[in-house]
Amino acid sequence: MKRRAFVFGLGTTAAASATVLGSGAFTSVSADRSITVEVADDDTALLVIDAEAEGVAGRSSLVNLGSGNKQAVFRIPGPEEDQIAGTDPEGIGKDSKYRFSNLAVLRNQGTQPVTVYSEYDGTLEQISIFDSGDPDTLLTSQSNGVTLGTGQSFNMGLYLESGDQGLGEYDETLTVVAERVGGNLD
Amino acid sequence: MTKRRKFLLGMGSLAAGGAAAIGSGAFTSVSANRDITVSVADDSDALLALKKTESANSDYVTKEGNVIGIDVSGSNDNLGQDPAGVNDDATTIFRRLFDITNQGTQGVLVWIEDQPDDWGFFADNYGNDRPDTGLGVGSQSGNPPLGGPRDDLLYLKPGESLTDVGFYGGGEDLSDVDGSLTIQAATPKEVYLRNLGEYDDVDQYDSPEDDPDFDVQDDLENADWRA
């Protein structure tokens, strides 16, 4: 709640507190300020996750998950795997490490450079994004993330490590993080 | 309102840099959760499928917890005659153990790493000839009891299988093996990018950097790769 108030009500709060501290003179202020926040699809947002620009067999897609805006969604194996080579793979094997290159384009459409990486804390051994041009570097923290200047992009891949999990379908969540270069202390 | 809240929830760290964000119009950070659905499959149905053959020798291949393995020892209950192991000071060949099928969408190079000392895998099965196509890296390349198999990476198109993978080995004073090996598959480009193999271009360039056509998939596929 505090954060929400801080962001949306910043102008009001700042003005009021300065005044209150200085003189304690007025009883109340009600100041209307306009704020416009548009929510965008992943392929047009500040951090673009364009899951339709790349990828095959439906492994990556932009899907309306009910909020009205499209989000990047990844499925391994993709629903259309059989359309490509006539095979019908059911998944990744146990105790296996898979890399799927070129699943989506990540682009920084903000106004300053950001470092992009992913965080995962789920059931499988590991999930991470990587730059398809440098598949060996898993972008698991800010220190080994990819820095994107404004307008810059890279082709994102997914690294999946099944570990010792039993057979089945796992609905996992990966957090894609883009942080201003140098941290959030602006 | 719902929309606005959604925005904030999706950008958990925005508040921390809120002042800067409003002051400059920059975004300081985005943290976005995205869904990934992953199916874990039996080895025989996986994207890189590893499947026991129907041959009698497949009894040496174990299947535990949906993962294949190789067991030539007294603890393998599949072996009716209950042998205790291979002979010392001998060469033993196991043909037709398992198939490797590329069920992915791109061609991949396949090889096996971490092969035990004195043992090697091969991928051909021609009558009674000794295997001469090595599969991947391992000590077998410098210890060629079977005529020096090449340690090539073998190319599999989508849907293609490397059938009847076997292994062989032997020598004097053999040691027991109790370890694991790594079956690798990667697109040619991945092999290049991750420096997994040695690139010997069909066009005779010294390195991919010298080759203006390097990015052409056909060239990558036809290069001679060695682990």
- B7 pLDDT exceeds 50? no
Task: Read off the pLDDT of residues B127-150 as tens digits, 9 standing for 90 and up.
Answer: 555 555 566 433 333 333 333 444
Band the pLDDT of B182: cuts 50, 70, 90.
confident
| Stronger pLDDT, B35 or B164, i.e. the higher one | B35
Q: Is the model's pLDDT at B69 over the cut of 90? A: yes
Is B216's Cβ below 8 Å from some Cβ in A?
Answer: no
Decide: B79 and A131 in contact? Cβ < 8 Å.
no
pLDDT of A148 reads: 95
Tell me if B225 sits within 8 A of B219, measured CB to CB. Answer: no
Average pLDDT of chain A to the nearest whole number: 83
pLDDT per position as a tens digit, A65-115:
887 889 999 999 999 998 888 889 999 999 999 999 999 999 999 888 999
Name the burial class of residue B57, with classes exposed (0-12), middle (13-18) and buried (19+) by CB atoms within 10 angstroms of its CB: middle
Residues in A 121-160 with any Cβ partner in B closer than 8 A: 124, 127, 133-136, 158, 160
Asked whether the beta carbons of B198 and B125 are under 8 A apart, the reply is no
Q: Are A95 and B66 in contact, with CB atoms under 8 Å apart? A: no
Q: What is the pLDDT of residue B222?
A: 67
**Cβ-contact A114, A147 below 8 angstroms:** yes
Q: B94 vs chain A: nearest CA distance in angstroms?
A: 24
**Is residue A16 scored above 80 in pLDDT?**
no
| Mean pLDDT calculated for residue range B100-128 | 79
pLDDT on residue A85 = 84
Buried b (16+ CB within 10 A) or exposed e, B135-157: bbbbebbebebbeebbbbbbbbe
Rounded to a whole number of angstroms, the distance from the CA of A107 to the nearest CA of chain B is 12
B159 → closest Cβ in A86, A92, A168: A86
Q: What is the pLDDT of residue B124?
A: 60
Instruction: Answer yes or no: pTM beyond 0.95.
Output: no
Torsion of CA B158, B159, B160, B165, to 10 degrees: 110
pLDDT category at A19 given cuts 50, 70, 90 is: very low
pLDDT at A20: 38
B142 CA: distance to closest CA in chain A (Å) = 28
pLDDT of residue B171: 81
- In the structure, what pLDDT confidence band is assigned to residue A24 with cuts at 50, 70 and 90? low
